[in-house]
Amino acid sequence: MGGGMLLLTSALDMLNARPAESKTTQGEAHDAAARASIAVVPLTIPLLTGPAAMSTVVIYAEKAKTVLQLSTLVGYGVVVALATAVCFSLVEPIAHRLGKTGINVLTRLMGLILAALAAEVMSDGLMKLFPVLGR
C-alpha cells in the first residue's frame, strides 16, 4: 500500500500543476544549463519512470498469473518505451504547439488518471490487509 500513497502524492502534485520531481532553484537550473552536455547516465531508466511507476509495475506483475499476462505487461512496457522515445525526439515541436497552458492541462489530466490508479492500488492493499472489506 506504500506504493499507492506514493502514487497519490505524485498525482496530487500533478493536479496542482507542480511537477513532483523538479525541486530545483533558478541558480541550479542556470548552472545545469551552463554545463549542459550529452552524457550516458546509468540511472536514466529509474529516473525516467520514478518510484510510483516502478511500484505499479511490480504490483501488476505480482497479480499476473500466466505467461501471457506477464508477456502482455512486458509488451506494455515496450510500447511505452517506444512512445517515450518518439515524444523525446519531438519534444520541441510538441512543447511549442501545446504552449504553457496546454502542458498544464495535460499535466493535470495525467494527475487525475494517476490519482484513479492510486485509489485502486490503495483499495487493493486495504482489502488484503482487512479481508472483511472485500465482502
How would DSSP label each residue in 13-71? Answer: HHHTT--TT----HHHHHHHHHT------TTHHHHHHHHHHHHHHHHHHHH--SHHHHH
Which residue shows C-alpha cell 511507476?
53
- How many CB atoms lie under 10 A from the CB of residue 20? 17
How much is the pLDDT for 2?
Answer: 57
For residues 21 and 29, give the distance between their C-alpha atoms in angstroms, rounded to a whole number. Answer: 14
- Whether 114 and 52 have beta carbons less than 8 Å apart is answered as yes
d(CA 38, CA 34): 13
pLDDT at 70: 92
Tell me, what's the pLDDT at 112?
Answer: 87
Question: How does pLDDT run along the chain (135 residues), one tens digit per residue?
Answer: 556 676 677 777 777 766 544 445 555 555 555 555 555 555 556 667 777 788 888 888 999 999 999 999 999 989 988 998 998 899 899 889 999 899 888 888 888 888 888 888 888 888 888 888 877
Q: What residues does each domain of the chain span? A: 2-21+50-134
Indicate the helix (H) or strand (E) that contains 90.
none
Q: What is the pLDDT of residue 57?
A: 86
Q: How many Å apart are CA 28 and CA 10, to the nearest integer?
A: 22
Q: How far apart are CA 60 and CA 4, in angstroms?
A: 12
Q: Say what the pTM is.
A: 0.51
